[in-house]
Amino acid sequence: MKKLSHTDDKGKARMVDVGNKPAQQRTALAEGHIKLSTETLKLIKDNQVRKGDVLTVAEIAGIQAAKKTSELIPLCHPLSLTKVKVNTEIVEDGVRVTGEARCIGQTGVEMEALTAVHIALLTIYDMCKAIDKTMLIGDIKLLEKTKTDL
């Protein structure tokens, strides 16, 4: 029987050893969407949500979350991120969030980009939950990941 690469000899979960991999420039881009009512979108555009500037707070929350990914997801390696960028964009039926993460390291940054998007979307949800009971978070996906030799 083939041993799974993420388990030890006793079948216990473990972090993957990336120690022998070369350091590379790594990037990842993810996105997601939250569907909002027309009224909620207007309040966000006019900066009239009682909790504050929804889009700015969501972007900051996403950046903060990316930096804490290894604390949230048990088998993720802690990374020295060189860049995290979170953008929010009002679209016809809600807000689209994109998250980009970069590092120079031995493992990818897709979990950081995805975590940034998830937390930014959850922040929008939290800030608008008192005014919109129809919100729907979805379409969260990794768009791209790259690695380039140094």
* Residues carrying an active site annotation: 126
Q: Kindly give the residue spans of alpha helices, DSSP state H, lying in the chain.
A: 38-45, 54-67, 69-72, 110-128
DSSP state letter for 96: E
Task: State how far the Cα of 127 lies from the Cα of 129, in Å rounded to an integer.
Answer: 6
Angle, helix 38-45 to helix 110-128, in steps of 10 degrees:
100
Of the candidates 110, 80, 103, the one whose C-alpha atom is nearest the C-alpha of residue 25 is 103
Coil, helix or strand at residue 54: helix
How do beta strands 24-35 and 136-149 pair?
antiparallel
**SS3 readout for 123-137:** HHHHHHCCCCCCCEE
